[in-house]
Every structure is written in structure tokens, then in C-alpha cells.
Amino acid sequence: MPLPTRPMPTDPAARVAELRAALDDANYRYYVLDDPTLEDAAYDRMLRELTELEAAHPELASPDSPTQRVGAAPSTLFAEVRHEFPMLSLGNAFGHDELREFDARVRKGLGLGADDPAVVYVCELKIDGLAISLRYDGRSFVRGATRGDGSTGEDVTPNLRTVRAIPLRLRDDPPGETLEVRGEVFMPRGAFVALNEQLEREGKPLYANARNTAAGTVRQKAPAVTAGRRLSVWTYQVVGVPGLASHSESLKLMRELGFPVNPHARRVEGVDAVIEYVEEWAEARKDLDYETDGIVIKVDSVEQEQTLGFVSRAPRWATAYKFPAQQVTTKLEEIEVYVGRTGALTPVAHVTPIVVGGTTVRNATLHNIDEIRRKDLRVGDTVVLQRAGDVIPEVVSAVLDARDGSETVWEMPSACPVCGTAAVREEGEVVWRCPNPWCPAQRIGGLLHFTGRGGMDIEGAGYAVVNQLAERELLREPADIFRLEVETFEGLDRYARKSAENLFAAIQGARRRPLARILNSLGIRHVGEQTAIDLGNWLTRETTRLDGEDEAAWTRRVADRLCDASAEELTAVFGIGKVVAEGIAGYFADEHTRATLQHLLDAGVVAEAPEPGATVEASEGPLAGKTLVVTGTLAGFSREGAEDAIRSAGGHAGGSVSAKTDYLVVGEKAGSKLGRAEKLGVPVLDEEAFRRLLDGGGA
């Protein structure tokens, strides 16, 4: 297309249309065809002319104009978006054998014998970014949403509009009135490096990895910030378009409509060709300008996909091959001990900073002293560091050949590094603890647990804020946070009026939370998320809300009931064992903790109450009344995903195997729990049997 360079003042409407087409075309050539034809300066000049024309002729304005990429954030930003078709998660395959097993399952599902032809697959790079969905009405981009939990995400339209790779207007009419495509937003390596260089010049803290930076950029409040971050996108799926015979056809359709589709997607025949692709990209991916963490393999034929269908929520016709964990060597410079909220002393390795899988790693966990001894790690050692996916980096081993005799054996300090109290190790435990309940490090850990995600979820109340408030004696117990004024936050380091107001507002909004969250936020020993849920359900059943009783009054009755509960009573609660019950009863028998709870209620903390008179039934679903424990790596679920699935089926997701466990779900690399289950005679399920149980079938 010839580029319009001369303005035609006689017909502004025609000129506007011409400029928009030229700018859209420039984006298309850049992002979809990878064949840029317009220099940045020329692009900017045309964009400026278009902006001026639209300002002079407001009647010509249009939301899908290239000038409309950055606007004010509307109130719908972060509103819930229900996905009409759920955004699926795929099962995983590690190693070639599991790819062959996947192919064998597909062939079996399609009824193919040894002499039948190979299955046709499409292999695509798995981009390490944030999954999103894009919706178009006619040719216009109208809504962008995050994946969220797969069924409900967040509206991030104004932020996604700023991503130039996302077409605001399609190049052709879509097959139906509306169209939805899915893809992955990411931050190119070059953009990530440039961003960190800029932050460094400004003396600001750097970002650790491109993936989280991209996710944070999509989920932040000012679209202008997103616009400045140079995010990009690859799209890989179109949903709800009938009449497409294959996945490769849908990729072609997306390209024709103007969506950026990764050029390395390849249609291959049979599993050997899949493995060849995987091998090729295990190395070649390192030269790409974006992070990848695997390969997605999909059956190409839509008819075959339909025959194969789904197991629970994962499609049988696709899998995600994960590249092996990346290992690098670096130097173990120092070992420092951190004190957690339970007093646990955890040694952490400080290493010479090094990039692994897109993240700059400075620290790695060493778990405990036994682990350090077993691996014979010494300060000054060259060590092998490993990072897989989102997992915390881990020191795998020392490189013995690299030792020169200057390395030193590390000893666990005999006292808490923060308060100086002698550390203790209980019989049978591997962890050393600071036994001082007034230890400042434990107090801060406890306060952070209270404000954190599993607790009251107060956005902005992270380590820097909590630590400063605690140091100034403004935050001695959890309830204090609800008594602080905006001015107090303004007085904190690096806190401007606006962020102080935001934090204040977040705190005010955090007074009302589900009962289980409040219980979890207290940080009672042995009480994790699941126990808090079980305890909350029991308390809600025990305390029927009265007519005319407000939430505050109901919450007080619940708190009284909890403080009066005996260990015997609690042991009878579904999901709570003897040790945990004694822990809870002991916790609330203490005057000090009772006062802590009382102060929270006085500060206006209330639990979300059921309707007056409502009786809460014991859970329903195929797993009602059953306790399941998950161990090892499952192909189709993350650990959290499996536990969520158990809870939504009405069951209880236990942490350890006991005589009360109904089933142990076993994945790859199961550990000691399997042995314990066999000893206690607890039935063991593989993943297939687990899925059948979730779907309502027998085990």
C-alpha cells in the first residue's frame, strides 16, 4: 500500500480514514508479518496528524482509532469478567516418554491401531507471560480480560488497548457478529532490560523477571504506565467460531484478521516429529526475544478434538511439554538466617547475582541445616543453582572440583539472629526455632501474615510498610493497623499523599472478610487455609444468625463460641485432628491472644455472616465428608489446583496422611506419604481414578 504523505485538507474524513488505515497497516506489518515498512518517526508524524485532525473534527472520533490506545481508566477496570467458554489449563508432559504416552492416549482415544496413519499435531512455543482473552464486536476491539481462575477474570481493556500488537480494528469482518481470541501478553527481553536500565538510572528498585513485570503491568491502574512498558502479545486460539476444520486453519484465520500469531507454530505428523520440534526449540528458544517455558502440542483436526473431549477441565487433545529446569553455576557468597513468624530459623544462600530462566536470582533457599550438611555446601563454593517455573530457586549441589580450600563450613547460629534468644530444636524436628514469643522478627512475620494474601489481604501493606510501622511502635498488634490515620502513612519513607490515601482506603476496605480468612490471618500454629475453612464452617453451623442481628454482633458471638470451645469439641470437627484441636484450644485459652482477638472486634473487624436463620449444611458434592491428601506431581493439576478441585467437590484437602484420610492421590515422584498411606491401609488413587471421583464416579 502506498503511504499517504501529503495532507488533503479538502476532505478531513477521507484523510482520517487514510491515516488510520496506514497506521493499522504499519502495525500489522510490524507485529503480524514481521516486515516493518514504516520508520518510527514517520509513524509518529502520521499519528500526530491524525490526533490533530480528530481534535479539530470531533465528529470523526472513533474508539478503534490508533489515537485511542491510551485513555483514562474507566471504572470498569478490574471488574469481573465471566468467560463464556472457560480458559482451560493443559496437562503437562515432562520428557520424551511422557510425550509418547500422550500420543498413545490420543491414538487410543481415536481408536487408531498400529497400522493407522500418524496423528497430525500443531506444535507451538509456550510463551511465559499472562494469558488473556480479547473480544471484538464486528471489527472493533471491545474488551480484554485476564484468565483469572479460568472461569472468571478481570477486565483490563484500557491497559490492553495500549499494547500495539493487539489490533483495535480487524482487517476483515470476523465470521460471526462477535469474536473472541486468546493469547499471551509478554514483555520482550529487550523491553525488560531497557526498563530495568531506566529504573537503575532513576535509583529505583529493579524488577526481577519479565513475566511478573508483564503481569503486573497488565494489572495496574494507569493505562499510560502500561503504554510506556512496550508489552507485546502472541495469539493462539479463537473460540466460538463454527466451521473451522482444524487448529491450523484457525491460526490462519487469526493472521488474516490481523492478529499476531507466533511464526514458529508448526504442523507436524506423528510423535517423532513432535519430539524433533521440542528438541530443536530446547536450544533455539534461548535466542528469542521473549521467554518460553515449554511447547504446547495440540491435535490439529477439530473432529478428532471433539472425539477426544475432556477429562475434568483439561482437554485430552492437548498437552504442555515443560522444558527441564534450568541450571546455572554461581558462587555461594554468604549464608544468612531468617526468622519466620513461627520462629523457624531458615538459612538462605546469598549468591552472586545470575539470570536463570529470565529471572535474576540473588538468594536461594537452603531449607535447613540438615540439607546443607547432606549436600556438603560451604561458603565460597561454586554451586549449581536450579529454578523450575515459578518455584523458588534452589541450590542443588556444590561443584567439588572448583574448591580451592578457601571455602568454609557453615554452622547454624546457636541463638536467634534478631533477638539473641538461644535457639531450640524440638525432638524429631529438623527446624531450629527462636522460642521467644516477643521476638520482633516473629512479630513482624505475624503482622505480615495478618495483612497478607491468605489473611486480611490489605494491598500495599507489605514488608517495607509493616516493618517501618512496627519499628516506630505504631503497629504492636494486628488491630493497630485499623486505628492509623492517612497522615501516619504519609510520614513513612517514600510515601506520597496518594499512596498513603490508597493504603488507608485498602485498610478500611479490609475490615470485612470471610470468617475463614479472619481465622487464618491470626496465624494460629497448625492452622492453615484448609483448617481455617473447616473451623469457619463449624462455627457458622454452631452459631445461627438471629433475626435482626447485625454482622458485628454475630461475629462477636462466633468469637465467644470459639474461645469457649474445648479440645474435645474441636477434635470432633470434620478435618481437625487431635494435635491441631489442642493447638487451637490452647491458643484461645491464653489471655493475651483473647485480647488480640477482642481488639480486632473493637476495631470494627467483622466476618461475612450468613442470612438470619440460615442453617449451613455440611458440604455437598461427590467428595462430601471425605478427606483426600495429594502427593507428588500430577499431570493435569498443580498442587493448589488439585486441592481446589477437592474443596469444590465438597471434600477436605488434608496436608498429611493419617488414619482419618480417605484417599491418597498419588502423582509422579511421590514421597514418604505413599509409604505412610500403605502402612495405615489408606486407599491410593492415581490421577485417572482421582478424576473419576471428582466427576462423581466411584474410585
Give contact residues for Zn ion (rule: CB under 5 A).
Answer: 416, 418-419, 434, 436, 439
The Cα–Cα gap between 373 and 356 comes to 25
Nearer to Zn ion, 436 or 521 (CB): 436
| Least Cβ distance, residue 441 to Zn ion (angstroms) | 5
Query: Are 126 and 281 within 8 A, CB to CB?
Result: no
Tell me if 203 sits within 8 A of 143, measured CB to CB.
no
The residue among 467 and 571 lying less far from Zn ion, judged by its C-beta, is 467
Q: Which of 455, 468, 533, 520 is nearest to 494 (CA)?
A: 468
* Residue whose C-alpha cell reads 561454586 in the numeric block: 382
Nearer to Zn ion (CB atom), residue 343 or residue 358: 343
The rounded distance, in Å, linking the Cα atoms of 322 and 647 is 27
Closest separation between CB of residue 580 and Zn ion, Å?
A: 25
DSSP state for residue 611 in the 8-state scheme: P
Q: How many helices (H) and strands (E) does the chain have?
A: 24, 26
Give exposure, 166-179, as e/b (b: 16+ Cβ within 10 Å).
bbbbbbeebeeeeb
From the CB of 482, what's the least distance to Zn ion, in Å? Answer: 27
What are the C-alpha distances in Å from 414 to residues 369, 421, 440, 443? 12, 9, 18, 20
Beta-strand relationship, 606-607 and 512-513: parallel
Nearer to Zn ion, 345 or 682 (CB): 345
Minimum CB distance to Zn ion, residue 141 (Å): 55
Three cell numbers, residue 108: 487410543
Nearer to Zn ion, 151 or 342 (CB): 342
Question: CA separation (Å) from 680 to 32, 248, 333, 699?
Answer: 59, 51, 45, 18
Question: H or E segment at 537?
Answer: helix 529-542
| Site of grid cell 536500565 | 197
Q: Which of 126, 298, 626, 673 is flagged as catalytic?
A: 126
Q: What are the residues whose beta carbons fall under 8 Å from the beta carbon of 424, sequence distance 6 or more?
A: 432, 433, 435
In order of 513, 618, 627, the CA distances from 542 in angstroms are 19, 12, 21
Q: Where are the beta strands (DSSP E) in 241-291?
A: 266-269
Confirm if 525 and 583 have CB atoms less than 8 A apart.
yes
Rounded distance, CA 183 to CA 686, Å? 32
CB-wise, 420 or 509, nearer to Zn ion? 420
Q: What are phi and psi of 184, to 5 degrees?
A: -125, 120
Would you say 319 or 436 has its CB closer to Zn ion? 436
What is residue 230's three-state secondary structure?
coil
- Cβ 329 vs Cβ 425: under 8 Å: no
CA distance 420 to 184: 49
Residue 693: half-sphere exposure toward Cβ, Cα within 13 Å: 26
- CB of 628: closest distance to Zn ion in angstroms? 37
Residue corresponding to grid cell 490462519: 252
By C-beta, is 475 or 606 nearer to Zn ion? 475
For the bound state, the minimum distance from the C-beta of residue 434 to Zn ion, rounded and expressed in Å, comes to 3
Beta carbons within 8 Å of 613's beta carbon, 6+ residues apart: 544, 545, 546, 547
Q: How far is the CB of 525 from Zn ion (least distance, A)?
A: 16
Q: How far is the CB of 626 from Zn ion (least distance, A)?
A: 41
What one-character-per-residue DSSP string does 574-589 give?
Answer: TT--HHHHHHHHHHHH
Q: Which residue has the cell 463449624?
A: 538
- Write out the three cell numbers for 212: 511478573
Cα–Cα distances in angstroms (integers) from residue 301 to residues 122, 278, 312, 695, in the given order:
10, 21, 21, 26
Grid cell for residue 175: 465470521
**Shortest gap between Cβ of 164 and Zn ion (angstroms)?**
52
Query: Are the C-beta atoms of 215 and 130 separated by less than 8 Å?
Result: yes
Q: How far is the CB of 421 from Zn ion (least distance, A)?
A: 5
Q: Which residue has the cell 470531533?
A: 58
Q: Which of 66, 102, 232 is nearest to 165 (CA)?
A: 232
8 Å CB contact between 162 and 97: no
CA atoms in the 13 A half-sphere facing the CB of 573: 29
Please identify, using beta-carbon distances, which residue of 437 and 528 lies nearer to Zn ion: 437
Nearer to Zn ion, 443 or 626 (CB): 443
Question: What is the phi/psi pair of residue 139, to 5°?
Answer: -95, -5
Give the angle 133-134-140 at the CA atoms, nearest 5°: 170
* 126 included as an active-site residue: yes
Rounded CA separation 643/370 (Å): 30
Nearer to Zn ion, 210 or 439 (CB): 439
Least Å distance between CB 357 and Zn ion? 35
The alpha carbon of residue 351 and the mean position of all alpha carbons in its chain are separated, in whole angstroms, by 26
Q: Give the nearest distance from C-beta 346 to Zn ion in angstroms.
A: 13
Q: Which is nearer to Zn ion, 418 or 456 (CB)?
A: 418
**Min separation Cβ 345 and Zn ion, Å:** 9
Among residues 436 and 631, whose Cβ is nearest to Zn ion?
Answer: 436
- Residues labelled catalytic: 126
